[in-house]
Structure 1
């Protein structure tokens, strides 16, 4: 598996070099010579897309024994990965693809016959491999492809199954719930519930410091990662450097698994409350670069809203939709009046109807009302006994 990853990395970087050379050779103006770059590739050379590079790969496999030692479809999937990166760069505005220091996964797009076994799986080049099967195989589905992922704790096999049956979309239910991504709390619901996220990163770094240094200096900041400090004093590529890198990678994987497990548990609790789940459409990439970048990256709010919540809602038959985010923190759920507030103002105090409520909860109510209007239901907000009304 390490050999396959190494060959895939070489193919990816070589193909990327071909893309960059072709683009660099076209930067020179037509009427004048450029000092920076000149045509280094003939003008009639076609653009090195997937079809062009896959054809060259077939020719190279005849003379290169290293390429011949790896399954041809695996290398073709690596070229498709690079082609998708260039497509997303143009369509989604992502950055230019970078050269890879290491490949973390590879894909077998086609399966062999009789590939399923009890506690084992048969792959085209590797043959039968033993696995710790986490769940039973689907009986009425066929395996489409298999991906092997390398992590700090070992290799993981991800099998995608396909079925000829179509799954209908979830229908709109009776009860609805609005969810707002907050700053002080992880999320706030339209029912008035505030959920705070554990500090996954800070807690693990504290354990890391105590475990890595038996006698820490007095007054040292617990949140500092001592392992990463020790890493820069090691010789790069040495045995101790590799061991320390593995310890840091295992810690990062543990933090990620803990966060993801907590996300799934919270999602199932939210799905128990209503049939319709409404959230606001937010660009969480901007959150990771703003003043709340530390809180948003530690809590993983983007992964929760965009990946885990819609998946669990689809799995449990709940209706999931996104609504417009504009003025959700300025509009009042009772009267609809809009009033600007600072980020430090954490409570709504309406000057029109004297209605007071937590700012994040009010935003969640607005999200729920907008979601109901979008699906054709009437959104009505009534003042209840639990509303915070200022005393005379």
Structure 2
């Protein structure tokens, strides 16, 4: 598990941290340059060479793998003494970071590693600790010293600190540590149990539950857009590279950071509310990258559906709630009562089935369809265990839903479906 804490280094420590980030960036770019040169040298045709330039690397030169580049670090420190300022394991994890990106590129077939510009390298890792680096209100980082930390929640008993990642945010004015903790206790897979619900995500309503309750979408970016636009206009009028320009850019970055924090806080609180309502949750497996490129991309990026699904899955695992994703195709075009296909455009916000007469909100019908598909998947896979009194498949479930949602103001219950 990862715990994120805010740290408060002094001026000298901040200067040292920023210097480390730049050294790690240079090591990353140098290793990537070696990798690209070796690949480019193998692209030369056998019968001719380029008229402009060609990479001349011996044919017996091996591929610059992680272990080869890691073993070359001591030689590089002799040639470039400033590399010795950074902890040796931090430089090793920087090389590891490049090759993890390279291996991921080979698996998915796109996303070749890119060179990091000034300020784009924002974190480095201390991979191991002999003793617990957190002592009271400080965290001891090798070669940096003790740094004040806001330990808003203690490390649980039985957990050991494995690694610490130092993260720079808001243009190097705010610093955080991501502490990775580990326990030898094995956590079994969460079984399917209790009450099940399906959720549908949208832009009119951020979230609609199959029991009829829904959550309005807070427009984080749009609500702060006016002030952000003013700060960006002020920053554009400053001379680039000056101190006033840097101060204006920091204010813009702080505003973006505030918007992201508000959005994440809303996602976590909503995920916990869902876990309070049910013990089994089904959601749509949305193509978030496709939504971010469509005509409604600004609203989809502001809602951050991908982040919400990831956080919900994490919260469900932490609280012992079963979470699964289902196929989203046709959930809003299918009647959850009789499974008839009901075509409707995005402008139609009500579901009315001509076959069975079922009428409800469009998102509510889609959430019910998500629930049905989730239950069908778990039954087909043989994952369904014992049935409880609050099981969705049992009779009387809608009476239970009405009782549970009696205190929720944002609620809409349609005609009960026939099971």
| TM-score above 0.5, yes or no | yes
Q: Judge conservation of contact 1:278–1:320 (CA < 8 Å) in 2.
A: yes
**Aligned match for 1:132, one of 150, 154, 177:** 150
1-side partners of 2:364 and 2:301: how far apart? 22
Q: Alpha-carbon deviation of 1:388?
A: 5.6
Show the counterpart of 1:97.
Answer: 113
SS of the residue corresponding to residue 64 of structure 2 reads coil
> For 2:230 and 2:35, how far apart are their aligned partners in 1?
41
Deviation, 1:252, is 0.6
> Is this contact kept in 2: 1:27–1:38, CA < 8 A?
no
Matched, 1:62 2:78: yes
Secondary structure of 1:191's counterpart equals coil
**Residues 121-142 of structure 1, C-alpha deviation per residue, up to 9 Å, x if partnerless?**
2222223222121211222111
Report the CA distance between 1:319 and its aligned residue: 0.5
Q: Contact 2:160–2:181 at 8 Å: present in 1 too? A: yes
Partner of 1:157: 177
The 5-angstrom pairing of residues 1-392 of structure 1 reads 1-35=17-51, 38-101=54-117, 102=119, 103-152=121-170, 153-206=173-226, 208=227, 225-305=229-309, 307-376=310-379, 379=393, 386-387=413-414
Cα distance, 1:379 vs structure 2: 4.9
* Partner SS state of residue 277, structure 2: coil
Encode CA deviations 1:82-125: one digit per residue, 9 max, x unaligned: 11111111212442222112211110001133533110122222
* Pairwise CA distance, 1:26: 2.0
**Root-mean-square deviation over aligned CA pairs:** 2.1
8 Å contact from structure 1 (residues 369, 380) kept in 2: no
**Distance of 2:199 and 2:354 partners within structure 1:** 25
**Could you report, residue by residue, the CA deviation over 1:41-88 in whole angstroms, capped at 9, with x for unpaired residues?**
222222222112112222111232111111110011111111111111
SS in 2 for 1:156: strand
SS in 2 for 1:122: strand
Asked if 2 retains the 8 angstrom alpha-carbon contact of 1:22 and 1:41, the reply is yes
| CA–CA separation in structure 2 for the residues paired with 1:351 and 1:32 | 69
SS at match of 1:46: coil
Q: Quote the Cα distance in structure 2 between the aligned partners of 1:132 and 1:319.
A: 32
Q: Contact (CA 8 Å) 1:25, 1:37: kept in 2 or not? A: no
Equivalence for 1:215: none
Relative to 1, partners in 2 of residues 1:132 and 1:174: Cα closer, same or farther, differing over 3 Å? closer
In structure 2, list runs of 5 or more residues that go unmatched: 1-16, 385-391, 403-412
**Alpha-carbon shift at residue 229 of structure 1 (Å):** 2.1
Specify every segment of 5 or more residues in structure 1 that has no aligned partner in the other structure, as ranges.
Answer: 210-224
Whole-angstrom CA distance in 2 between matches of 1:383 and 1:142: 46
| Aligned-partner SS, 1:131 | strand
CA distance in 2, matches of 1:180, 1:295: 16
- Relative contact order higher in (CA < 8 Å, ≥ 6 apart): 2
TM, length-normalised to structure 1: 0.90
User: Displacement, 1:20?
Assistant: 1.8
SS at match of 2:116: coil
Tell me: CA distance 1:286–1:380, structure 2 relative to 1, closer, same or farther (3 Å): farther
TM-score (norm 2): 0.84
Aligned length: 372
Q: Cα–Cα, structure 1 residues 136 and 383, in superposed 2: closer, same or farther, change >3 Å?
A: closer
On the 8 A contact 2:37/2:55 being kept in 1, the answer is no
* Partners of 1:267 and 1:309 within 8 A in 2: yes
Q: In structure 1, how many angstroms separate the alpha carbons of the residues matched to 2:220 and 2:18? A: 31
Partners of 1:22 and 1:230 in 2: how far apart?
A: 45
**Secondary structure, counterpart of 1:150 in structure 2:** strand
CA distance in structure 2 between the aligned counterparts of 1:296 and 1:347, rounded to whole angstroms: 21
Please say if residues 203 and 303 of structure 2, whose CA atoms lie closer than 8 Å, have aligned partners that are also in contact: no
Tell me, yes or no, if the aligned pair for 1:227 and 1:244 is still in contact at 8 Å: yes
Tell me which residue corresponds to 1:213. Answer: none
Name the stretch that deviates more: 138-147 or 34-43. 34-43
Q: What is the rounded CA distance, in whole Å, between the counterparts of 1:297 and 1:3 in structure 2?
A: 33
**SS of match in other structure, 2:124:** strand
Contact 2:204-2:217 at 8 Å conserved across structures:
no
Cα distance in 2 for residues equivalent to 1:197 and 1:37: 55
